[in-house]
Structure 1
Amino acid sequence: MTEEFITFEKFNDKHSAEELGQILKETNIEYLLENNSLSFDPTFANNGFGTEYCLKIKKEDFKKANEILLKKSEKEINEIEKDYYLFTFSDEELIEVVSKSDEWNKFDVTLAKKLLKEKGIDVSEERIKKIEEQRILELSKPEENHKGFLILGYISAFFGGIWALFIGWHLLTYKKALPNGNRVYTYSKEDRKHGNRILIIGIIFSILWLLYYLLK
């Protein structure tokens, strides 16, 4: 069985994704590049809306890849212009960049740490480790408030059709990737039970409706 590749970073343009892929390739890290962009632009603006490229690597390579990008960012910081937008951030905003590092690129996180350190704010390895652990705990929590989604699922299930099967399967099995490479269920145990019921009801009613139309 092929080892699973997990999303490491997402990009809005193919060039940036390929650039990172090349860096990983040079350090013997296997990767996959997936184009998850929308095939149709509802805005008709041709402005990249819905464009998303996912660069995936194996879970075992997450630590090595992060270390490589960290070293690259540290070198680039010495060449940064003083009009870079991060220099206008307040202490609170810089701390948020560090504490939510999964939402920012490695360069911005590294620069934020440097700026905070220059201001005398503690960004020691020990504190960063605690921040990262707390962030993992937060991201591991299941998403909530899906009543509308559940109602739609049950309604779709009684009418049969692909929507019911999709919603049920999605609620039951969908997982999200954490910054450390681990994957956890996106929805709570209770929501996954609902997903299982919707899936079963959807299958049953799909068969019943099919028999009805065939007999009719």
Structure 2
Amino acid sequence: MKKEDFELVRTKSGDELAAVVETLTTAGVPHRVSSSQAAFDITEVGRGDYPADMMVMVSRADLHAARLALEGSFAETELPADHFLHTASDEEILEILSVPADWDPFVVVHARRLAADRDIKPAEITVKSAEQIQALEMGRPAARWHLVLGWFSVLLGGIVGMGIGYSLAYMKESHAEGEFYTYDLRTREIGRWMMWSGVVMLVVWRFILASR
């Protein structure tokens, strides 16, 4: 997967894959098809179902256009009677519509329809979306075991600890809304201390070994 590629649709259905590819091609949206199976022939698209997951990928620049095209193609479809959206709460509908890029366009189209039927206000969606973006901007704290492993690795010689510290301090995740640090500010600060402590310990251990 290319760094800036986003997974638009994942399916095992040949019919669904062919329909998505046709919709994007008609709309002039660049895309590519990949598979969780190593050997995949693009000419097989539309020739039955697949034993592995098939993913339709688009770039960040084309993501909005791709989703609009697919949502338009799903606008006239019916929601299956056994679909999970039928039993989704208002809060769950809000969760979907606050981060639509994290959901299949089919789900988003019907979630919007249900939101209108239930009189869920656009302002509620806007507030929820802002909360989701804020959570992404803040990042998450690292697991305690991750920190313990990092500091333990620093004491053992530095190199692994330096790597763990660097990942805690600078790792980012790419979302449709942008690129955000994976970890929160406190964790990133700990990561920087861990990284530089690893450098110091590496020098110390080399000095000790060289003096023997």
Helix, strand or coil: the match of 1:183? strand
Give me the whole-angstrom Cα distance separating, in 1, the residues matched to 2:151 and 2:54: 33
Q: Residues 40-79 of structure 1 correspond to what in structure 2 (within 5 A)?
A: 57-75=58-76, 77-78=77-78
Counterpart of 1:94 in structure 2 is 93
Counterpart of 1:186 in structure 2 is 182
Comparing 84-93 and 202-211, the one that deviates more: 202-211
Give me the whole-angstrom Cα distance separating, in 2, the residues matched to 1:73 and 1:55: 16
Helix, strand or coil: the match of 2:139? coil
Residue 83 of structure 2 aligns to which amino acid in structure 1? Y
Q: Residues 67-146 of structure 1 correspond to what in structure 2 (within 5 A)?
A: 67-75=68-76, 77-78=77-78, 80-119=79-118, 121-124=119-122, 128-144=125-141, 146=143
Structure 2 unmatched runs, 5+: 37-50
Measured on the aligned residues, the alpha-carbon RMSD in Å equals: 4.1
Q: TM-score, normalization: structure 2?
A: 0.67
Question: Against the structure 1 CA distance between its residues 151 and 97, is the aligned structure 2 distance closer, same or farther, given a 3 Å change threshold?
Answer: same
Task: Answer whether contact 1:144 1:188 (CA < 8 A) is retained.
Answer: yes
Give me the whole-angstrom Cα distance separating, in 2, the residues matched to 1:206 and 1:54: 43
Counterpart of 1:153 in structure 2 is 150
Question: Against the structure 1 CA distance between its residues 133 and 13, is the aligned structure 2 distance closer, same or farther, given a 3 Å change threshold?
Answer: farther
Q: CA deviation at 1:168?
A: 1.3
Structure 2 residue aligned with 1:196, among 181, 192, 196?
Answer: 192
Question: Against the structure 1 CA distance between its residues 166 and 22, is the aligned structure 2 distance closer, same or farther, given a 3 Å change threshold?
Answer: farther
Structure 1 unmatched runs, 5+: 36-47
